[in-house]
C-alpha cells in the first residue's frame, strides 16, 4: 500500500502545480472584442478607382494588437450585397478552435450577406475552455509543448480570390507585459506589402476558370501597394473623359505612405506580404536591415540591403534611423522572380521633422535584378532559428510526402497540380464532412505521395496529359511527424519555373533545407538542418528547386496547405491534411448551412 500512496501524493502535487500554472496563465490573458463590417467601397489606392473590399472602411483593415495568450473575438458582419466572405487568420494555429480558421470549403461555410459570424481564437494558444481545471490540466502539457509565441501575423479573405480585392490586414502579437524580446528597439512599426489589380477578382476568377482558348491569365499587377497605397500611371489610359473620371493622380488616397522616424532611434519594422502574385524585394534607401523575426519565430540576426519576401510571409527587421536627417528616403518594393513590368511600390521613409510628403531628392533604388535567383536562395539559407530559441525538430519523420509542382491542362482548363492531381475545393467543408461522417461529399481516394522520380524531367514542360483533378485529402496519423518535399519543375512554357510560397494552416513547420534540381530521397535528407532550423508557416519553393519541411500532425482539425499565390491556389495548387478529427470538439452550427450540411436543417 505504502508505495502506492506515495505515488498518489506525487501525482497530487504535480496536479496542484499544473492547476496553479494554468490559473496564472489564464489570469494573464485578456479578451479582445472586435466588431468588423465587410463592405464594398469605391477606392483609389493607386489613383485608379476600383471596387474595393474594406473592413470598417479600410483596406488594409484594422490591425489587431494583442498580447500572447489573449483571446480574440472578431464579430464579422458581411454587408456585401450578394457575395459571401470568409476570413483566415494567417499564422494563428487555432489549437482547439479549428472551426475558426476561416478557410471556406475546409473549415467553414461562407458567411452570407447580412450575416454576422463570430471568429474566436487565442493568439496563439489552446483555448482556455469552459471545462475547468481538468481540461486545463491537459492544456498545460500542450502549451509547454507548442510554445506560446509573440510575433507578426496576418488575416485575409480565404474564399475565391477575394483577398486581391483588398480584404486583408495585420495581427501583431506582443509578449506579455514585462517580458522582453531578445533584441532591442525604440519603436514598433508595421507595413503590409501587396500587389494590386484594376480588374476585379470576379473577372480574374472567370478568366482563370474558362477553358482554352478563352483562358485568361491574370497578368502582372497594375501596381504595388505599401500599406494600401500605390501609384498607377494614369496617362496609360489615354485622355478620354472616361479615363479622367477613373484615374486621378491627385487623389489623397494614393499619396505615398509615410513611415515617420525620429533620427537616431531604432525601429522594429514588421514587413509582411500579401501579394496576389508577386514575389518582392523590399528596401529602404541607404539603410541596412537586420532580420530578427520570421513568421512569429526569432531569427538568428543577419543583415540585408534587400529583403526578399513572398506572399504569406512576415518578417521583423531592425532599422536604425542613422542617415542624414535633413531629408527623406525611399522605401520601395520591386517584383522579383517574374519579368518586372509593374512599376515599383514607393513609400517615404520620413525623417522627423521633415514633411511627410517631401519627396526624397534621389531616384528610388532600382532593387535587385528580377531574374537573379542566387541572392534569394542565399536569404532562404540564412534564416535560422535564433540561439536560445531553437525548437529542435523530431529526428525522423513517420511519413514523407513529395509534392511535384506542375502546370497542366485538365479537361481543357489550365491548372496547377501536385503529383498530377489538381485540387478542387468541395462545397461541404471538410471539417463538417469528416466530423459528421458525410464522406460521400468528397473523394475517399488517397492522393499520391510522390511522382515518377526516376523518369520525370523537371527541367522541361510537363509531358503528362494524364493529370486529373480531385478533392481527395491526406489523412495523417495523429501526432505523427510528416516531411513534405516540395519539388519545383518547369511550367508549360519552356525554360520557365515560378517561385511558389507555400503556406500551411494550423501549424508551424521546420524548414529543413532547400536544394537545386531534383530532390534525391537517398542523399538530400542527410543535408537537412536538424540543428537550428527556423519554424515558419510559409516558405518559398524556388525555381527548379526543392524545399523540405517537417511538422508534427498534433493539431486536431483539417488544414489547407497551398501555394499562397491567389491564382495558383484557385487553379488547384493545394492539398488538405486531416489529423485527429476524433479529437475535435463539437462544431459550432455557425460554420454550417452549405452543401450537405444543409441536411441538418430540421425546422
- Binding to a second copy (CB under 8 A) within 27-66 occurs at 39-42, 51
Query: What cell was used for 435?
Result: 466530423
Query: What cell was used for 447?
Result: 492522393
Cβ within 8 Å of residue 591, ≥6 positions away:
99, 107, 108, 109, 429, 431, 432
Return the sign of the alpha-carbon dihedral for residues 266, 268, 274, 277. positive
# chain residues binding a second copy, by CB under 8 A: 56
Q: What mask, x for binding a second copy by CB under 8 A, covers residues 378 to 417? A: ----------------------------------------
Cβ within 8 Å of residue 490, ≥6 positions away:
406, 457, 458, 459, 460, 461, 462, 496, 497, 544
Note whether 238 binds a second copy by CB under 8 A.
yes
CB of 72 to a second copy, least distance (A): 23
Note whether 243 binds a second copy by CB under 8 A.
yes
Note whether 239 binds a second copy by CB under 8 A.
yes
Cα–Cα–Cα angle for 280, 406, 447, rounded to 5 degrees: 120
Note whether 359 binds a second copy by CB under 8 A.
no
DSSP 137-186: HHHHHHHHHH----EEEEEEE-STTGGGGT-EEEEEEEPPTT---SS--S
**Which candidate, 168, 64, 75, 87, places its Cα nearest to that of 115?**
75
Note whether 245 binds a second copy by CB under 8 A.
no
CB of 358 to a second copy, least distance (A): 30
In angstroms, rounded to a whole number, what is the distance separating the alpha carbons of residues 280 and 259?
A: 19
Note whether 24 binds a second copy by CB under 8 A.
no
- Binding to a second copy (CB under 8 A) within 153-172 occurs at 159-162
Give the residue with the Cβ less far from a second copy, 113 or 176.
113
- Binding to a second copy (CB under 8 A) within 77-116 occurs at 81-85, 109-110, 112-115
Note whether 602 binds a second copy by CB under 8 A.
yes
Give the residue with the Cβ less far from a second copy, 146 or 592.
592
How many other CB atoms are there within 10 angstroms of residue 253's CB atom?
15
CB of 83 to a second copy, least distance (A): 5
Using only C-alpha atoms, the chain has a radius of gyration, in whole angstroms, of 24
Phi, psi of 207, deg, nearest 5: -60, -40
CB of 199 to a second copy, least distance (A): 9
- Binding to a second copy (CB under 8 A) within 431-470 occurs at 432, 436
Q: Which of 21, 26, 209, 400 binds a second copy (CB under 8 A)?
A: 209
State how far Cα 476 lies from the chain centre: 22
CB distance 247 to 275 below 8 Å: no
CB of 173 to a second copy, least distance (A): 29
Phi, psi of 307, deg, nearest 5: -95, 120
Count Cα neighbours of 135 within 13 Å in the Cβ-side half-sphere. 10
Note whether 251 binds a second copy by CB under 8 A.
no
Note whether 597 binds a second copy by CB under 8 A.
yes
Note whether 212 binds a second copy by CB under 8 A.
no
Q: Which of 427, 479, 524, 583 binds a second copy (CB under 8 A)?
A: 427
CB of 94 to a second copy, least distance (A): 20
CB of 532 to a second copy, least distance (A): 42
| Residues of this chain that bind a second copy (CB under 8 A) | 39-42, 51, 81-85, 109-110, 112-115, 159-162, 200-203, 205-207, 209-210, 214, 216, 236-240, 242-243, 426-427, 432, 436, 587, 589-590, 592-595, 597-603
Amino acid at each position: 500500500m505504502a508505495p502506492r500512496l506515495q505515488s498518489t501524493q506525487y501525482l497530487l502535487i504535480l496536479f496542484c502545480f499544473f492547476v496553479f500554472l494554468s490559473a496564472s496563465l489564464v489570469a494573464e490573458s485578456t479578451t479582445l472584442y472586435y466588431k468588423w463590417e465587410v463592405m464594398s467601397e469605391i477606392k483609389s489606392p493607386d489613383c485608379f478607382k476600383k471596387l474595393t473590399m474594406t473592413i470598417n472602411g479600410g483596406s488594409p483593415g484594422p490591425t489587431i494588437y494583442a498580447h500572447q495568450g489573449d483571446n480574440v473575438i472578431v464579430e464579422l458582419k458581411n454587408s456585401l450585397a450578394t457575395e459571401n466572405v470568409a476570413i483566415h487568420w494567417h499564422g494563428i494555429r487555432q489549437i482547439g478552435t479549428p472551426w475558426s480558421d476561416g478557410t471556406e470549403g475546409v473549415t467553414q461555410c461562407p458567411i452570407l450577406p447580412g450575416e454576422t459570424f463570430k471568429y474566436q481564437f487565442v493568439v496563439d494558444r489552446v483555448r482556455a475552455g469552459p471545462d475547468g481545471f481538468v481540461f486545463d490540466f491537459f492544456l498545460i502539457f500542450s502549451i509547454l509543448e507548442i510554445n506560446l509565441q509573440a510575433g507578426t501575423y496576418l488575416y485575409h479573405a480565404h474564399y475565391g480570390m477575394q483577398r486581391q480585392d483588398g480584404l486583408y490586414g495585420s495581427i501583431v502579437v506582443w509578449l506579455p507585459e514585462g517580458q522582453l524580446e531578445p533584441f532591442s528597439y525604440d519603436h514598433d512599426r508595421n507595413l503590409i506589402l501587396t500587389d494590386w489589380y484594376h480588374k476585379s477578382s470576379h473577372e480574374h476568377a472567370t478568366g482563370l476558370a474558362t477553358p482554352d482558348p478563352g483562358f485568361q491569365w491574370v497578368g502582372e499587377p497594375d501596381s504595388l501597394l505599401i500599406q494600401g497605397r500605390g501609384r498607377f500611371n494614369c496617362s496609360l489610359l489615354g485622355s478620354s473623359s472616361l479615363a479622367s473620371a477613373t484615374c486621378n493622380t491627385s487623389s489623397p488616397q494614393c499619396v505615398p505612405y509615410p513611415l515617420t522616424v525620429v533620427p537616431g532611434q531604432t525601429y522594429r519594422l514588421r514587413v509582411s506580404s500579401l501579394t496576389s502574385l508577386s514575389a518582392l524585394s523590399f528596401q529602404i534607401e541607404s539603410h541596412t536591415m537586420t532580420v530578427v523575426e520570421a513568421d512569429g519565430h526569432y531569427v538568428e540576426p543577419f543583415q540585408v540591403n534587400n529583403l526578399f519576401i513572398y506572399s504569406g510571409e512576415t518578417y521583423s527587421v531592425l532599422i536604425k534611423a542613422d542617415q542624414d536627417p535633413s531629408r527623406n528616403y525611399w522605401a520601395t518594393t520591386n517584383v522579383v522572380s517574374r519579368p518586372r513590368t509593374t512599376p515599383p511600390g514607393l513609400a517615404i521613409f520620413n525623417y522627423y521633422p521633415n514633411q511627410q510628403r517631401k519627396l526624397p531628392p534621389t531616384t528610388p533604388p532600382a532593387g535587385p535584378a528580377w531574374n537573379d535567383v542566387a541572392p534569394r536562395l542565399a536569404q532562404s539559407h540564412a534564416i535560422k532559428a535564433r540561439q536560445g530559441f531553437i525548437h529542435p525538430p523530431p529526428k525522423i519523420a513517420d511519413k514523407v510526402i513529395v509534392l511535384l509542382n506542375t502546370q497542366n491542362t485538365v479537361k481543357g482548363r489550365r491548372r496547377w497540380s501536385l503529383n498530377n492531381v489538381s485540387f478542387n475545393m468541395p462545397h461541404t467543408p471538410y471539417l463538417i464532412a469528416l466530423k459528421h461522417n458525410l464522406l460521400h461529399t468528397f473523394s475517399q481516394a488517397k492522393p499520391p505521395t510522390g511522382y515518377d522520380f526516376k523518369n520525370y524531367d523537371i527541367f522541361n514542360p510537363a509531358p503528362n496529359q494524364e493529370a486529373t483533378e480531385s478533392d481527395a485529402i491526406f489523412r495523417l496519423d495523429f501526432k505523427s511527424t510528416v516531411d513534405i518535399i516540395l519539388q519545383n519543375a518547369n511550367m508549360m512554357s519552356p525554360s520557365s519555373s515560378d517561385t511558389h510560397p507555400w503556406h500551411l494552416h494550423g501549424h508551424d513547420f521546420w524548414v529543413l533545407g532547400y536544394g537545386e534540381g531534383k530532390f534525391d530521397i537517398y542523399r538530400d535528407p542527410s543535408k537537412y538542418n536538424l540543428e537550428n532550423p527556423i519554424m515558419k508557416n510559409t516558405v518559398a519553393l524556388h525555381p527548379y528547386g526543392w524545399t523540405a519541411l517537417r511538422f508534427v500532425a498534433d493539431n486536431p482539425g483539417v488544414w489547407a496547405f497551398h501555394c499562397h499565390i491567389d491564382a495558383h491556389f484557385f487553379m488547384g495548387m493545394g492539398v488538405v491534411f486531416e489529423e485527429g478529427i476524433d479529437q475535435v470538439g463539437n462544431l459550432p452550427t455557425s460554420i454550417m448551412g452549405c452543401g450537405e450540411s444543409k441536411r441538418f436543417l430540421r425546422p
